[in-house]
């Protein structure tokens, strides 16, 4: 690979917000002639490998997880000497700590660091100490929301932080023109890993409050360590016939097109791309008013915001939308237009290419 290509550095080939951003950036850059590949630092297996191969995106699996730090640096240094990247785009502080020293030793100084969440950093002492220091050695420090940038400024990051919102492929995520507007059973859905931050227990409590008010069927797409506990909770709440846990979803776009309402119950997020994909699909969204979500959803205009952990407020919002197809259509249409004008992957990829110093024909800018 000739010097000048971008290497997207991610944790592993698994489905997550940062991993999907890296994949979507590479796929969009291909269309404009920018050379790019993906470097997975840790795991050697994951659902995204098939997606990389189907999209003809080169990828590398370094498998550094079990190595001591010095051996990690040697392996990454050898890799960078071999592929000779023109620029590195590194996602998350853990990855940057592993990559920064070998990148400098390999003569690669064009590094953009993107952070997607503050949760781990604010809770971990060494990360809070390291962040202001390592940020001095990157070309640009970007965050996926203004809220996140404010958090890191408060932690003492001494340089300017650039906000670049995640983007959606609006060719892939679009409404279903053939879906009937007036169905007797409203289809509610959510997408995300079954982990504590997503607060699915509150969503299940809201659905339990909803079941005597409207006819609905809900589906949750995603897997994770809380799957068994959440299924048991759904059964205890009398939701066994009303809620389906789909597990891993390989075609989120098709899943969204079958929904009437999208819901996000999280108590912590960076910038959830699943919400933006739902908005692009012209779905009305009910979401918690946490972190960056109010930056992309205007309450009452492009969605409905409720307090985190408030099952009754969530149930009320879902009931109001379930009973009013006209309002669902209005909110969903406004949400779709917002994404199409502001949050496309094309806009996001151009912004990152600019900060990485890479031109559209795959040559490094001066």
Confidence of residue 359 (pLDDT cuts 50, 70, 90): low
How distant, in Å, are the alpha carbons of 63, 303, 340 from that of 282?
40, 10, 11
Banded pLDDT at 137 (limits 50, 70, 90): very high
Question: 186 - beta bridge partners?
Answer: 216
Q: Which residues, 6+ apart, have CB-to-CB distance to 19 below 8 Å?
A: 10, 11, 12, 13, 48, 91
Those residues whose C-beta lies under 8 Å from the C-beta of residue 236, and which sit 6 or more positions away, are none
| Model pLDDT, residue 180 | 67
Name the 3-class secondary structure at 8. strand
Domain with CATH 3.40.50.2000 in the chain: 6-167+344-356, 186-342
Nearest-5° angle of CA 350, CA 351, CA 356?
95
Q: Which fold has domain 186-342?
A: Rossmann fold (3.40.50)
* pLDDT, tens only, 182-220: 678 999 999 999 999 999 999 999 999 999 999 999 999
What are the tokens at 347?
């806009």
pLDDT at 364 > cutoff 60: no
Model confidence pLDDT, tens digit, residues 272-318: 899 999 999 999 999 999 989 999 999 999 999 999 999 999 999 99
Return the H-helix or E-strand segment holding 277.
Answer: helix 273-280
How much is the pLDDT for 264? 97
> Residue 44 has what pLDDT?
84
Q: Which CATH number fits domain 6-167+344-356: 1.20.210.10, 3.40.50.1010, 3.40.718.10, 3.40.50.2000?
A: 3.40.50.2000
Q: Which tokens go with 144?
A: 């996926």
> Which DSSP letter does residue 222 get?
B
Using CB atoms within 10 A of its CB, is residue 163 exposed (0-12), middle (13-18) or buried (19+)? middle
Residue 249 has pLDDT above 90, yes or no: no
Sign of CA dihedral 350, 356, 361, 365: positive
pLDDT digits (tens, 9 = 90+) for 1-49: 345 689 999 999 988 889 999 999 999 999 999 999 999 999 888 889 9
Tokens of 50: 């098939």
* Residue 213, pLDDT score: 96
Of the candidates 105, 100, 62, 108, the one whose C-alpha atom is nearest the C-alpha of residue 84 is 108
C-alpha 329/C-alpha 340 separation (Å) is 16
Which of 198, 173, 164, 165 lies closest to 278, judged by CA? 173
């Amino acid at each position: 690979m000739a010097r000048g290509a971008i290497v997207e550095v991610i944790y592993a080939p698994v489905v997550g917000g940062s991993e999907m951003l890296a994949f979507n950036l590479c796929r969009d850059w291909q269309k404009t002639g920018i050379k790019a590949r993906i470097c997975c630092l840790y795991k050697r297996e994951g659902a995204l490998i098939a997606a990389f191969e189907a999209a003809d995106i080169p990828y590398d699996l370094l498998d550094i997880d079990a190595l001591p730090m010095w051996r990690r640096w040697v392996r990454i240094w050898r890799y960078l000497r071999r592929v000779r990247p023109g620029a590195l785009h590194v996602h998350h502080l853990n990855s940057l700590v592993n990559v920064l020293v070998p990148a400098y030793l390999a003569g690669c100084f064009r590094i953009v660091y993107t952070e997607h969440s503050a949760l781990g950093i604010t809770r971990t002492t060494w990360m809070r100490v390291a962040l202001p220091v390592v940020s001095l050695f990157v070309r640009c420090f970007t965050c996926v929301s203004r809220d996140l940038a404010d958090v890191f400024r408060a932690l003492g990051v001494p340089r300017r932080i650039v906000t670049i919102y995640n983007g959606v492929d609006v060719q892939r995520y679009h409404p279903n023109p053939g879906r009937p507007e007036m169905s007797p059973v409203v289809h509610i859905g959510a997408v995300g890993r079954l982990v504590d931050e997503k607060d699915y227990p509150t969503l299940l409590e809201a659905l339990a409050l909803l079941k005597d008010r409207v006819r609905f069927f809900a589906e949750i797409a995603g897997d994770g360590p809380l799957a068994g506990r959440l299924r048991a909770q759904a059964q205890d709440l009398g939701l066994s016939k009303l809620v389906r846990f789909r597990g891993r979803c390989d075609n989120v776009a098709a899943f969204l097109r079958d929904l009437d309402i999208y819901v996000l119950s999280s108590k912590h997020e960076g910038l959830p791309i699943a919400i933006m994909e739902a908005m692009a699909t012209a779905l009305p969204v009910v979401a918690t008013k946490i972190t960056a979500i109010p930056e992309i959803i205007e309450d009452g205009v492009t969605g409905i915001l409720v307090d985190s952990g408030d099952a009754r407020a969530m149930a009320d919002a879902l009931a109001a939308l379930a009973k009013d197809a006209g309002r669902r259509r209005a909110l969903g249409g406004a949400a779709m237009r917002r994404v199409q004008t502001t949050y496309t992957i094309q806009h996001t990829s151009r912004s990152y290419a600019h900060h990485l110093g890479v031109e559209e024909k795959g040559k490094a800018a001066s």
